[in-house]
Each structure stands twice: as structure tokens, then as C-alpha cells.
Amino acid sequence: MRSAPFTALGTFAHTPKRGHLEIIEHGLVHVDASGIISDVIRPDQPRYQAVREQAATSGQLIEGGPGSLFLPGMVDLHIHAPQWPQLGQALHLPLDRWLNEYTFPLEARYLDPALARAVYPQLVQTLLANGTTTGVYFSSIHQEASEVLAKTCLDAGQRAFVGRVVMDDPSHCPDDYRDASARTGLDGTLDFITFVRAMTGNESALVQPMVTPRFIPSCTDQALEGLGNMAGDQQCRVQTHCSEGDWQHQFVIDRFGHSDTYMLREFGLLRPGSVLAHANFLSGPDMQTIAQEKAGIAHCPLSNAYLANSVFPLRQALDLGLRVGLGTDIAGGPSPSLFENCRYAISSSRMLEDGVDPARSAEERGRAGSRIDFMEAYWLATAGGAQVLDIPVGRFEPGCCFDALLVDPSGPHSNIHCHPGISDTAKALFQKVLYHLTRSDIRKVWVDGVMVLNQDR
């Protein structure tokens, strides 16, 4: 899809650097015909009036309107598409039982691609409507259903990274939901990579394939090694789960005598752009390894509260220079919204800092210096996620793709209320948006300069 060139006029808020909120009021953002931001002009710049008038007279001006904000679209680094019908279900169980009793039986049903055709368009539309312009997806082990997912993202105009899941270890995967052999998983992955790269309409690689071993416990050594080689040969990003909860973390140590991170590197799966979901139980050396390999972490704060037995030490990871973004982990996390996950990333970092057990003294209750603030949370969901994937989105800067949201809280169903003289500055509005936005506030969504959702229509 190509967009006509246009100029957006309004208040732009973004976090181009971690911890730094920049607000451009009455800004002009010019987007070229390939959806790339070619210019960002502030009202005090000499060419401002001329550019604005030129855009208005040629019918290429898109105005945000009073009280609205343009924000960068969000990058959800971890979504399990086939689990969408299970959102908000079965979260009373620990990870291994949740997988075996609910999740694997549901995913097995995508052998029938009709289920994928029924579920995936609704999932992708819901994510776009919640502001997710880039989605990183696990599909299932099925070729056809995985192809339906890739095609659905492309048709909807969502930037997406999609993986056909590999799980082949007979001792840890159910008989009716497992690759028949390591070879089946490897051949299926290569076929899927080829399919996605050749999809008609995907010439700009809006949708890209990912090599996707589910996690070490579900894969044989042969599959893990083969997928590591394939990621290198095909220059294809990797996604997997890493040291999620006590059970997964210990499982890998018992099997290999080494941590998840160490073994992922051994198998060639830690590469630039590799997305490790959760990674809650990393040692200091594990963190250094991930930073060295330029892999990244999908921090999934809501899911972690249910399945990970701990709070991810986010501040420590960031201070060590790790690349980190946010993930919903649908359906381990019960919300499709990255705004909701921003809120929970902030709250859980505060709980880690102060600790949670009032029976302990204040000194021994928490981990000092663990908190993040609202600006860092938004950075994680936008520029941070983009850095993990090494893609030019998440900021309003020349050279970046115009993946953006227009947030307008003036509708009758909004929870966002500003009060003249008290909380009516753009910075106050940004904070209210971060803490209170619901999907009805997101009026328009663009990916690559193409408007993919318009609630005003």
C-alpha cells in the first residue's frame, strides 16, 4: 500500500530518548509518498507558514484538532495469536498447567484454518484499535493457519513479525499438538519464511517472518540447533520464551546444566533482533550475554503477574544497556492494550522497588532503585520496542515511518478529562492519556503513512 504525501498538523508527543518526553505544539510533520517522515517543523521555524499554506491549498493537510494528540504507534513485542479466544481465561493456573490444560488444546484446533480465518482478523483489528501498529506474533505449528495470520496482518496494513511455532519434543508436547519430528518443524519454518517473503503486496516487507522455537522445554536439541542455523542462513529474526518462571528457568538448568540464555546462545538463537519473552530470571552474566548479542527482551508485566512468579528487574536491565520493549503476551496477559501494559510496567516496578510483604521491614522489603516513570513506560512501548527490532518507528523524526495514533479524548465515552487552569497542558494531557486512555479515544491509526483505522467514518 502506498499513501499520498501529506502533512499532519497538531500536537505531537513522543519519547525519542528513554525518560525524555518531547511535545511539539502546532507542529507540522510531513510524510512522503512512501510513508516516511521527511520533515518535522516547529512553529518558530522560518518555513513553517509556507509549508502549512502549501499543504492546506493542495488538500494535503491533516489536522489533529483542539485537545487531541498525535502519538507514535505502539510496538507489541509478544502476542500469541491463536490464544485470542482464551483472553481473560484460565489464569488461575501455573504456567506448565496453563499450557497443558488450556493453551495447547486450544492451539491444536488451528489445524483447521477456518478457525484462523475466523479469529485472526478480529485479533488484528482489536490490536490496531488499541494503538498497536507493530505486532510480533507467535502463530501455531500449522502452516496454513500461520499463513492466514501473516496475510491477515498484511491485509489490515499492520506492521508485523510472524512466526510459525516449532515444538517437537515428544516428552513435553502433547501428541496432537507437536511437530512430527525436528525435520517437520525445520521444513515448516523454511516454507513459512519463503511464503511470507513472497506474499503479493508485501514488497515493502511490512510483514516479516520470524524463526520461532516455542521455548527450550518444548524443543529437541536437533530442532533448536537447526533453527539457530536457519536464522543465520536466512537472516531471519528469532523469537522465543526465556527464563519466564521458576519452572521454565529450572527446567533448562536441569536439562543442560546451564541457563536458558546460555543455551539459546549455544544454539545460535541469540542474535540481533532476537526477542526473548519475559526473561525474568536472568543472572548478571545472562544480561551481559543478551546485551552483547544485541538481542532484546519483551517485558510482559501483566502476564508476569500471573505466570512468571516474579517481577522482571526492568531498571537493572535498562541500566545494563539491554534492549527492552513491552508485550501483552496475549493470552498470558489478560489485556490487548499496550497502554494497560505501560501502566502495569510502572506499578510492578514500584512494587519491586518497595517490596510487597508488609510483614518485612521497609529495609528488607524491596529492591531499591527499581522504579520506572510514565515517560520510560511510553518509551518502552514505542521507541524501545523499535530498538529491539531495529526498525525505524516509534518516534516523530525524519527517516522514521509514520506509524501513528491520533488520540482525541473529547468523545462522550472518554475517561480522560482535563480541567482548565489545572490539568490542561499538553504534558498533563499526555499523562492522562497514558493512565486513562481507552480504545474509544484512539480516533485514527496510521502504519507506514497509510490510515488503517478511522473511527470517524
Which residues of this chain interact with Fe ion, rule CB under 5 A? 277, 329
> Mask 295-334, x = binds ligand GUN (CB under 6 A)?
--------x---x---------------------x--x--
Our finding on whether 163 is near ligand GUN (CB under 6 A) is no
Q: How far is the CB of 84 from ligand GUN (least distance, A)?
A: 12
> Mask 165-204, x = binds ligand GUN (CB under 6 A)?
----------------------------------------
What is the signed CA dihedral for 114, 116, 121, 125, rounded to 10 degrees?
A: 150
Query: CA angle 243-247-250, nearest 5°?
Result: 70
What's the DSSP call for residue 73? P
Q: How far is the CB of 138 from ligand GUN (least distance, A)?
A: 7
Q: How far is the CB of 35 from ligand GUN (least distance, A)?
A: 32
Phi, then psi, of 419 in degrees rounded to 5: -120, 120
Cα–Cα dist 70/396, whole Å: 9
Q: How far is the CB of 248 from ligand GUN (least distance, A)?
A: 6
Q: How many CB atoms lie within 10 A of CB 343?
A: 20
**Lookup: cell for 256:** 543442560
Which of residues 82 and 366 has its CB atom nearest to ligand GUN in the complex?
82
Our finding on whether 80 is near ligand GUN (CB under 6 A) is yes
Which of residues 329 and 408 has its CB atom nearest to Fe ion in the complex?
329
Q: How far is the CB of 2 from Fe ion (least distance, A)?
A: 34
What's the DSSP call for residue 33? T
Query: CA angle 335-339-345, nearest 5°?
Result: 85
| Chain position carrying cell 516547529 | 42
Which partner, Fe ion, ligand GUN, none, binds residue 244 by CB below 5 to 8 Å per kind? Answer: ligand GUN
Burial of 101 (0-12, 13-18, 19+ CB in 10 A): exposed
Q: How far is the CB of 277 from Fe ion (least distance, A)?
A: 5
> Mask 208-227, x = binds ligand GUN (CB under 6 A)?
------xx------------
Give CA separation, 175 vs 6, 74, 111, in Å: 53, 37, 13
**Lookup: cell for 417:** 478529562
Burial of 61 (0-12, 13-18, 19+ CB in 10 A): middle
Q: How many CB atoms lie within 10 A of CB 22?
A: 15
Which of residues 79 and 434 has its CB atom nearest to ligand GUN in the complex?
79
One of 169, 179, 244, 448 touching ligand GUN (CB under 6 A): 244
Our finding on whether 241 is near ligand GUN (CB under 6 A) is yes
In 43-150, beta strands by DSSP E: 61-63, 69-72, 74-80, 132-138
Which of residues 153 and 277 has its CB atom nearest to Fe ion in the complex?
277
Segment interacting with ligand GUN, rule: CB under 6 A, options 95-103, 264-272, 337-345, 356-364: 95-103
User: Which residues contact ligand GUN (rule: CB under 6 A)?
Assistant: 80, 95, 99, 103, 214-215, 241, 244, 303, 307, 329, 332
